[in-house]
Chains A and B, each alone.
Chain A
Amino acid sequence: MPEGISVTVNGTRMSVAENTTVLAAVLASGTAMVRRSVSGEPRGALCGIGVCFECRVTVNSQRHRRSCQILCGQGMDIRTDE
């Protein structure tokens, strides 16, 4: 087994397998909500292929990154829209 990749999601450390997207890591952390919409609704991912922009999160302080398009990297700091 390859060694897991360590990331933090909203401050909680977790380990994920290689080739796991940031989105899969966020959902594995136990939340279905990835962000809040302009009117405050909870939203999760929709298209899974980088088109709908519903899965935007903050990765290493860079905001509005499409979490379905980014693979987890060692030590990545992931924050969902609170």
Chain B
Amino acid sequence: MNNSKHSFAVLVVGAGPAGIAAACCAAECGARVGLVDKNARPGGQIWRGEWQDSRVAEAGNWLRNLAAARVEILPAMEVFAQQCAGRLAAESLDGVTELSYKKLILCTGARERFLPFPGWTLPSVLGAGGLQALVESGLAIAGKRVVVAGSGPLLLAVAAHLSEHGAEVRLIAEQTPWARLIRFGLALPFHRQKISQALQLRKQLSGIAYKAGCWVMAAEGNGRVESVTLHAGNKTWKEPCDYLACGFHLTANTELAVLLGCEVRAGLVRVGDFQESSIPGIYCAGEPTGIGGVELSIVEGQIAGFAAAGQCERARKYFGERKHLRGFSAALGTAFALRDELRLLADAETIVCRCEDVKLGRLRRYSSWREAKLQTRCGMGPCQGRICGPAMEFLLGWKVESSRPPIFPVQVASLAAATCAE
């Protein structure tokens, strides 16, 4: 195995919008900057594919900035452990890379939140963003019947993307009731950019039914999903489909922040004015500090990048914009809060932990995740609780207590290389 070492004044983890902005700004100040990302190309989940064929102007601009900036990009590399203070270990196909830093900026993004319901483990039931990612990476979706369900603005973007690729989107089922969506819509006039995005989506979605206050109760099929049972108002019906794309808004990736000892409250990394976490010299920007979308991520990334490079005055210029965008983020959280009925979907026989096949009925015998883990291995499989953790938090009120290295499963040789580095 091939092991290499890099040393940076500012190291950024995650090359989505926040990480790209942070890296560009820090580099602009003359700092030696590294940007490590688990994907082969920068852009994160939201700007996937933009490096190739840029369709979002802002993505194109930032990716060009990044290409021109003095930033060392370390792609296809996943940070999995801290070797000692100021040094992380990352794994790639080539081996382990040691990444030393003076200042660290965590831009680890978010993932979809999944909720268990009968049949959610059937093949062809995917996340909403999950199915979009799959289509972007080569899955032919033309002519396939898709139900898009769950919660959050992502559902609209996914439905638009799938129908553009020829899918027959049968329905978008949003669990949030109309009344809350309307209140959210009324808050939008203060966010002009968001309105123009919404109008554009509406155009792409003409002809697709959008039902609010509607959710999936179960998925059925033999070896793969063949239909879903939907519920809205006092109606319950079956909708035949080839795919169910179902995600319930987003949940922040805080594992690395937790591992490094940063304070996390209510699932979000706590940061100060300059995006600095509770650990001096470790900053955090984007979704891990609060689910707020691309614009807020970019602004937070800029603040973190300038601040980490020691140029706090330049960082300060973005405070006003950040405040404005955080208002949108708060409205988003309120609008797409999960309804109580969703807690009743999973029954005793529904699998909650997909790695270890632990059913809800078994989990209910215990009072905490720690106890359930010891008895059932729930959350101890390869995803390390990333999928079942948020579900158990919603269903059972259990919290993730800690994050242990390696924060991703790695080769045994990588673990050895990472621990004997001193």
Residues of A within 8 A of B (CB): 16-17, 19-21, 23-25, 27-28, 32-34, 37-39, 41-54, 56, 64, 68-69, 71
Q: Which residues of A contact B111 (CB under 8 A)?
A: 47, 49, 51
Q: How far is the CA of A26 from the CA of B138 in the complex (A)?
A: 11
Q: A45-B130, A47-B112 are in contact. Are A20 and B137 (CB under 8 A)?
A: yes
SS class, residues of chain B in contact with chain A: loop
Asked if B139 contacts A49 (CB within 8 A), the reply is no
Q: Within the complex, which residue of A17, A45, A51, A53 is in contact with B134, where a contact is CB–CB below 8 Å?
A: A45
B249 at the interface (CB under 8 A from A): no
Q: Which residues of A contact B121 (CB under 8 A)?
A: 37, 41, 43
**Shortest beta-carbon contacts, A-B, top 5:** A44-B123, A20-B138, A24-B138, A48-B133, A48-B130
Q: Which residues of B contact A20 (CB under 8 A)?
A: 137-138
- Which residues B3-44 have CB closer than 8 A to chain A? 38-40
How far, in Å, is A52 (CB) from chain B's closest CB?
A: 5
Q: 26 A-B contacts, Cβ less than 8 Å apart?
A: A19-B137, A20-B137, A20-B138, A21-B138, A23-B137, A27-B134, A27-B139, A32-B124, A37-B354, A38-B355, A38-B356, A43-B354, A45-B130, A45-B134, A46-B114, A46-B126, A46-B127, A46-B130, A47-B111, A47-B387, A48-B130, A48-B134, A49-B111, A52-B386, A53-B409, A54-B354
Q: A17-B138, A43-B121 are in contact. Are A53 and B127 (CB under 8 A)?
A: no
Q: Which of B39, B124, B137 has the most CB of A within 10 A?
A: B137
B223 at the interface (CB under 8 A from A): yes
How far, in Å, is A41 (CB) from chain B's closest CB?
A: 6
- 15 extra A-B contacts, CB within 8 A, seeds A38-B356, A44-B123, A49-B45: A19-B138, A20-B138, A27-B139, A32-B124, A33-B224, A41-B121, A42-B224, A44-B124, A44-B224, A46-B125, A46-B354, A46-B387, A47-B114, A64-B382, A64-B409
Asked if B139 contacts A28 (CB within 8 A), the reply is yes
Q: Within the complex, which residue of A27, A37, A49 is in contact with B357, where a contact is CB–CB below 8 Å?
A: A37
Q: How far is the CA of A44 from the CA of B223 in the complex (A)?
A: 10
Q: Which residues of B contact A48 (CB under 8 A)?
A: 126-127, 129-134, 137
Asked if A41 contacts B133 (CB within 8 A), the reply is no
B312 at the interface (CB under 8 A from A): no
Asked if B387 contacts A52 (CB within 8 A), the reply is yes
Asked if A47 contacts B127 (CB within 8 A), the reply is yes
Residues of B within 8 A of A (CB): 38-40, 45, 52, 111-112, 114, 121-127, 129-134, 137-140, 223-224, 351, 354-357, 381-383, 386-387, 409
Q: Which residues of A contact B132 (CB under 8 A)?
A: 48
Asked if B137 contacts A68 (CB within 8 A), the reply is yes
How far, in Å, is B381 (CB) from chain A's closest CB?
A: 7
Q: Which of A20, A33, A54 has the most CB of B within 10 A?
A: A54
- Looking across the interface, which residue of chain A has its beta carbon closest to that of B388? A52
Q: Which residues of B contact A50 (CB under 8 A)?
A: 38
Q: Which residues of B contact A27 (CB under 8 A)?
A: 134, 139
Q: Within the complex, which residue of A28, A51, A69 is in contact with B387, where a contact is CB–CB below 8 Å?
A: A51
Q: Which residues of A contact B40 (CB under 8 A)?
A: 71
- Looking across the interface, which residue of chain B has its beta carbon closest to that of A65? B93
Asked if B138 contacts A42 (CB within 8 A), the reply is no
- Looking across the interface, which residue of chain A has its beta carbon closest to that of B41? A19
Asked if B138 contacts A53 (CB within 8 A), the reply is no
- Looking across the interface, which residue of chain A has its beta carbon closest to that of B223? A42
Q: Which residues of A contact B383 (CB under 8 A)?
A: 51-53
Q: A32-B224, A53-B382 are in contact. Are A16 and B387 (CB under 8 A)?
A: no
- Looking across the interface, which residue of chain B has its beta carbon closest to that of A39? B357
How far, in Å, is B403 (CB) from chain A's closest CB?
A: 14
Q: How far is the CA of A43 from the CA of B369 in the complex (A)?
A: 25
Q: Which of B40, B124, B134, B383 has the most CB of A within 10 A?
A: B134
Asked if A49 contacts B387 (CB within 8 A), the reply is no
Q: How far is the CA of A66 from the CA of B129 in the complex (A)?
A: 17
